[in-house]
Structure 1
Amino acid sequence: MIRHIVSWQLAETEPAAKARVAAEIASRLTALVGVVDEIRSLRVDADVAGGTNWDVVLVADFDDLAAVGRYQVHPAHQAAGTYIRSVVTARMAVDILL
């Protein structure tokens, strides 16, 4: 099992607008469950502490790295990624073996 963790820093800085963008990212990514068969579990949340923390995190589980690769090139994931890239300033990702 592979846990795929991605965090983003949002371009938006105004708190209400930042919350709307984070919610939209979460909505687009959680909509992939049931569409992208490789997803075993997926959760997206906004940071609650603020400060220098990253703003949004995705934690998703897949059977193996090949499944992560298929997820990444899936057209529905690509569409979500297009939106996400338009509203973030930085991205961090790590894949760990469970």
Structure 2
Amino acid sequence: MIRHIVSWQLSEADPARKAAHAAEIAARLEALVGVVDEIRALRVGADVAGGANWDVVLVADFDDLDAVGRYQVHPAHQAAGAFIRSVVSDRMAVDIIV
């Protein structure tokens, strides 16, 4: 099993707009469950502590790295990614064996 973890820093400074962008990211990614067959589990959330933390995180589980690759090129994921890229300033990702 591969756990795919991605964190984003949002480019928006206004707290209300930042929260709206975080909620939209979560909604778009959560909508992939049941659409992208490779997803075994998926959670998305906005940071609640603030400070220097990253703003939004995705934690998703896949059977293997090939499944992660198929997820990444799936048209529905590509559409979600287009929105995400439009509202973030930085991205960090790691894939681990669980």
TM-score (norm 2): 0.99
Which structure 1 residue ranges, 4+ long, deviate > 3 Å from structure 2? none
Q: Secondary structure in 1 aligned to 2:84?
A: helix
Query: Where does structure 2 lack aligned partners over 5 or more consecutive residues?
Result: none
Using the aligned pairs only, state the percent identity. Answer: 82
Counterpart position of 2:76: 76
CA offset digits 1:3-55 (Å, max 9, x no partner): 00000000011111110000000000000000000000000000001011000
Counterpart position of 1:42: 42
Counterpart position of 1:6: 6
User: What amino acid maps onto 2:50 in structure 1?
Assistant: G
Counterpart position of 1:64: 64
* Aligned positions of 1:20-39 closer than 5 A: 20-39=20-39
TM-score (norm 1): 0.99
Distance in 1 (CA, whole Å) between partners of 2:94 and 2:48 is: 21
Q: Secondary structure in 2 aligned to 1:24?
A: helix
User: What amino acid maps onto 1:51 in structure 2?
Assistant: G
Q: Secondary structure in 2 aligned to 1:32?
A: coil
User: What amino acid maps onto 2:60 in structure 1?
Assistant: A
Query: Where does structure 1 lack aligned partners over 5 or more consecutive residues?
Result: none
Q: Secondary structure in 2 aligned to 1:34?
A: coil
Aligned residues: 98
User: What amino acid maps onto 1:44 in structure 2?
Assistant: V
1:16 aligns with 2:30: no
